[in-house]
């Protein structure tokens, strides 16, 4: 399975707006100023998406300003006639929660054509062991930290949006391992779910066959050592970024198809609950605050204080900016560094992508649209 690892090689002098950004092996500056979509269907677009691995650098010591734990970069998209926010989210590999959180006042079904939207394709990596699979529940996003590759010094991470368990069937905090991989899975319906289906809809099946449009497993299932839980495909792509499952992790069909090849049996994994994350990018401190979707955190402000206090950068944090980020819960990285100029989410680094197509997703070609800025590596 080939993964696109993106490197920005342009001179920072060409981008006066983003002079503070690190130039070098910063995989993840995958960006595009106003792009134009084509037909929203499986054959002409969604099947051509490629997994992208972002580079990151962990702090080597307390107050290490060289750390780079904010990955990706915001983009801009001009809404076209007949677009929906759901299509746009999938176009940029975001969940429904992420696109709605970034644009709460926009009609998800009929956004205004010609309107320019900031696309929040940037994230702070969650605190973890930085190995295997990490699903941050409040964020509804999966992070995969592949093993270090020979000849590649940078740490890499792949991140994908997911759908998670309903409030009455929450995805649990837990550690696990990848037990196996099953293509074209049959869904053997657990008794607890079967009982619910009988009560609510009168459906009494014991199983749903592989290939059935009613099979929520779709074409791929990644089996976990956690009983009754799996990472799998979906028969409803619009479930990604929503709390709709019985606890399992759903991915977009095009994401699970590629991730299925990349993930190794025996890999470690963890479901974590981090509504507040803190990270560093080129000497600036960012926080990312999400809704407490299962209402497990009694006081989100106190949680933010704890996260900052336990970080390496607490002396650099502006408390007023932190309080604003906690109030807004925008779900995007916010600069909270003392003395930084005020900015809005998405203003930190929107860089022009001249091709008009997201890097790694070129119409009619699996290759990237930016010559000289993509390295292809094997993660298998």
* Residues 140 and 20 placed together within one structural domain of the fold: yes
Q: Is 248 a catalytic residue?
A: yes
| Cα 340 to Cα 116: distance, rounded to the nearest angstrom | 26
Domain boundary among 271, 294, 311: 271
**Under DSSP, is residue 263 helix (H, G, I), strand (E, B) or coil?**
coil
pLDDT of residue 14: 27
* Residues 83 and 52 placed together within one structural domain of the fold: yes
Per the CB < 8 A criterion, the answer to whether 336 and 317 are in contact is: yes
What does the DSSP assignment read for 167-201? TTSPPPPEEEEEEEEEES--EE--HHHHHHHHHHH
Domain boundary among 222, 255, 271: 271
In 3D space, the residue among 118, 154, 129 whose CA is nearest the CA of residue 27 turns out to be 154
Q: CA dist 133 to 80, 141, 202, 220, 295, Å? A: 35, 11, 37, 17, 24
| Cα 162 to Cα 58: distance, rounded to the nearest angstrom | 25
**Under DSSP, is residue 164 helix (H, G, I), strand (E, B) or coil?**
strand
| Cα 25 to Cα 310: distance, rounded to the nearest angstrom | 28
Q: Which residues of 72-106 are buried (b: 16+ CB within 10 A; e: fewer)?
A: bbbbbbebbeebbbbbbbbbbbbbbbbbbbbbeeb
Q: How many CB atoms lie within 10 A of CB 196?
A: 16
* Residues 19 and 103 placed together within one structural domain of the fold: yes
Q: Is 246 a catalytic residue?
A: no
Helical pair 319-328 and 300-309, crossing angle rounded to 10 deg: 140
* Residues 300 and 259 placed together within one structural domain of the fold: no
* Residues 249 and 304 placed together within one structural domain of the fold: no
Number of domains in the chain: 2
Each residue's pLDDT tens digit, 51-91: 899 999 998 887 787 899 999 999 999 999 989 999 999 98
pLDDT of residue 265: 97
What does the DSSP assignment read for 120-150? --EEEPPSS-SSEEEEETTTTEEEEEPPPPT
Q: CA dist 172 to 52, 80, 227, 255, Å? A: 27, 39, 12, 22
* Residues 326 and 245 placed together within one structural domain of the fold: no
| Cα 30 to Cα 359: distance, rounded to the nearest angstrom | 6
Domain boundary among 231, 256, 271: 271
| Cα 316 to Cα 61: distance, rounded to the nearest angstrom | 15
pLDDT of residue 293: 97
| Cα 280 to Cα 65: distance, rounded to the nearest angstrom | 7
**Structural domain harbouring 171:** 165-271
* Residues 315 and 188 placed together within one structural domain of the fold: no
pLDDT of residue 9: 28
Radius of gyration of the chain from Cα atoms? 20
The region that residue 31 occupies, defined by phi over 0 for left and psi between -120 and 50 for alpha, beta otherwise, is beta
* Residues 16 and 127 placed together within one structural domain of the fold: yes
Q: What is the pTM of this model?
A: 0.81
Residue 218: HSE in the Cβ half-sphere, 13 Å Cα cutoff: 23
* Residues 358 and 224 placed together within one structural domain of the fold: no
* Residues 267 and 312 placed together within one structural domain of the fold: no
* Residues 214 and 307 placed together within one structural domain of the fold: no
Q: Which of 4, 232, 246, 290 is catalytic?
A: 232
Q: Which of 8, 54, 246, 248 is catalytic?
A: 248
- Classify the C-alpha dihedral 252-257-260-263 as positive or negative: negative
Q: Which residues of the chain fall below pLDDT 50?
A: 2, 6-38, 345-380
CATH of the domain at 180: 2.40.440.10
Each residue's pLDDT tens digit, 130-161: 999 999 999 999 999 999 877 766 799 999 99
Residue with tokens 């409040």: 138
* Residues 267 and 280 placed together within one structural domain of the fold: no
């Amino acid at each position: 399975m080939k993964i696109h690892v993106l490197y920005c090689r342009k001179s920072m002098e060409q981008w006066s707006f983003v002079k503070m950004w690190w130039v070098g092996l910063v995989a993840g500056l995958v960006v595009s100023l106003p792009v134009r979509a084509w037909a929203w269907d499986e054959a002409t677009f969604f099947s051509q998406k490629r997994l992208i691995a972002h580079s990151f650098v962990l702090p080597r010591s307390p107050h290490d300003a060289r750390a780079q734990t904010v990955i990706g970069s915001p983009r801009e998209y001009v809404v076209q006639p007949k677009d929906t926010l759901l299509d746009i989210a999938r176009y940029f590999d975001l969940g429904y929660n992420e696109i709605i959180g970034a644009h709460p006042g926009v009609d998800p079904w009929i956004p205004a054509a010609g309107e320019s939207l900031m696309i929040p394709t940037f994230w702070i990596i969650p605190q973890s062991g930085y190995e295997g699979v990490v699903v941050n529940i409040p964020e509804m996003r999966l992070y995969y930290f592949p093993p270090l590759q020979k000849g590649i010094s940078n740490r890499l991470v792949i991140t994908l949006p997911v759908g998670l368990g309903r409030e009455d069937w929450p995805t649990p905090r837990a550690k696990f391992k990848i037990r196996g991989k099953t293509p074209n899975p049959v869904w053997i319906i657990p008794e607890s779910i079967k009982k619910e289906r009988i009560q609510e809809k009168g459906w009494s099946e014991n199983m749903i066959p592989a290939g059935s449009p009613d099979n929520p497993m779709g074409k791929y299932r990644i089996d976990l050592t956690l009983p009754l839980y799996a990472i799998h495909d979906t028969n409803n792509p619009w479930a990604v970024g929503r709390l709709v499952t019985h606890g399992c992790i759903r991915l977009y069909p095009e994401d699970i198809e590629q991730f299925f090849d990349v993930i190794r049996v025996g890999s470690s994994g963890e479901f974590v609950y981090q509504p507040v994350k803190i990270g560093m990018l080129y000497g600036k401190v960012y926080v990312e605050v999400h809704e407490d979707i299962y209402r497990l955190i009694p006081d989100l402000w106190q949680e933010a204080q704890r996260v900052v206090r336990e970080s390496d950068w607490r002396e650099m944090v502006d408390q007023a900016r932190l309080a604003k980020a906690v109030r807004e819960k925008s779900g995007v990285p916010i600069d909270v560094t003392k003395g930084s100029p005020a900015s809005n989410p998405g203003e930190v680094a929107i860089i022009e992508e001249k091709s008009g197509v997201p890097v790694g997703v070129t119409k009619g070609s699996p290759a990237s649209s930016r010559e000289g800025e993509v390295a292809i590596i094997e993660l298998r």
